[in-house]
């Protein structure tokens, strides 16, 4: 409920020009441009997918200083997601657990929200997922249709095969399944001359061998980068009474593991595959940690929940 209220308020702020101009002044950040996978980002901090699933508040969120906004996860057809309660705050651990299950109003609705005015020079990404009732063997159909839908509306797309909250989805990260999926996506991209960069979002729970297999599939099928990482199902070290809740864990307990995955990806690819690092970033030190591990860009989500709307400005003025 709190999230829904805040999203509605920031949507109003983005649609009311005097207020959006005021927000831009309050959260103004000197440009710190970064060129990655053919795009020029005004600064290296973005908003991770999951915060604005339906693209309702992205224009207002862009006023908070983000260099890019990633909306979604978007599914082809509307779906309600998993039963409630499905989002839990663990304030003592600076963490969240969610088992949302890709709730949303579907691709056509989100496409309408992304059409029209683009605030400033913000880069816009869209995170793509399959519907819950789409069989794994038909998942490529959903992803390809989604890619078509958002070509020309978004600046880049992310193939999400790593959410723990859609049954079986993570099996698409396995080498053979991922290679087949990405091969189909790349062939369609070439056939239809879709210029949009395509990234793949990976889980933090992959073994070393699974990560190497996934990266081989990503590179051999000419994907443009990776987002590392999604939420984790690991609960090691959690003290909260909510630790037994199923779903994906984000925030401070994920930070070190996500940074480790970023470092492994950078090492395994020789630093040649662009990485968006995400997981537990709540300060300038955490941001620098991701960059030092090999990330070109960094995203926040849970940090915004706990640290507030000034976090982007704080990080970029302190690091």
- Contacts (Cβ under 8 Å, ≥6 apart) of 186: 198, 221, 222, 223
Residue carrying the six token digits 């070290």? 237
pLDDT of 13:
66
pLDDT of residue 169: 85
Show the tokens assigned to 185.
Answer: 């996506």
| Amino acid 14: pLDDT | 67
For the chain, report the end-to-end CA distance as a whole number of angstroms: 33
Which domains does the chain carry?
Answer: 2-318 (3.20.20.70)
Q: Quick check: bond before 97 cis, omega within 30?
A: no
pLDDT tens profile 228-251: 999 999 998 899 999 999 999 999
- Facing residues of 297 across strands? 276
Each residue of 43-59: b (16+ CB within 10 Å) or e?
A: bbbbbbbbbbbbbbbbb
Taking the C-alpha atoms of residue 171 and residue 87, their distance in angstroms, rounded to an integer, is: 24
Catalytic residues: 163
Q: Taking the complete model, does pTM exceed 0.75, yes or no?
A: yes
Residues of the chain with pLDDT under 70: 13-16
Q: What is the pLDDT of residue 11?
A: 74
Instruction: State both tokens at 89.
Output: 């705050």
pLDDT at 168: 84
pLDDT digits (tens, 9 = 90+) for 110-127: 999 999 887 778 899 999
């Amino acid at each position: 409920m709190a999230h829904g209220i805040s999203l509605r308020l920031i949507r109003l702020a983005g649609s009311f020009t005097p207020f959006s101009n005021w927000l831009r002044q309050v959260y103004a950040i000197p440009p710190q441009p970064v060129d990655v996978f053919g795009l020029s980002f005004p600064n290296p901090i973005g908003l991770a997918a999951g915060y604005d699933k339906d693209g309702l508040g992205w224009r207002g969120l862009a006023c908070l200083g983000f260099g890019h906004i990633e909306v979604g996860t978007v599914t082809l057809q509307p779906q309600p997601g998993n039963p409630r309660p499905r989002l839990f705050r663990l304030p003592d651990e600076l963490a969240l657990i969610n088992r949302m299950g890709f709730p949303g109003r579907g691709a056509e609705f989100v496409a309408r929200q992304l059409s029209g005015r683009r605030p400033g020079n913000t880069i816009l990404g869209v995170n793509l997922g399959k519907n819950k009732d789409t069989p794994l063997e038909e998942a490529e159909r959903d992803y390809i249709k989604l890619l078509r839908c958002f070509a020309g509306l978004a600046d880049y797309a992310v193939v999400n095969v790593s959410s723990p909250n859609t049954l079986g989805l993570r099996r698409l990260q396995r080498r053979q399944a991922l290679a087949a999926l990405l091969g189909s996506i790349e062939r369609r991209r070439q056939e239809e001359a879709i210029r949009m960069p395509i990234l793949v979002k990976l889980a933090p729970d992959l073994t070393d061998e699974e990560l190497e297999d996934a990266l081989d599939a990503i590179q051999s099928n000419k994907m443009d980068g990776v987002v590392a990482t999604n939420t984790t199902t690991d609960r090691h070290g959690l003290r909260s009474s909510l630790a037994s809740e199923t779903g994906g864990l984000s925030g401070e307990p994920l930070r070190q593991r996500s940074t480790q995955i970023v470092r492994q990806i950078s090492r395994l690819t020789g630093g040649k595959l662009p990485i968006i690092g995400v997981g537990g970033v709540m300060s300038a030190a955490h941001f620098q940690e991701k960059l030092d591990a090999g990330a070109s860009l960094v995203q926040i989500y849970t940090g915004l929940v706990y640290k507030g709307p000034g976090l982007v400005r704080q990080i970029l003025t302190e690091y």
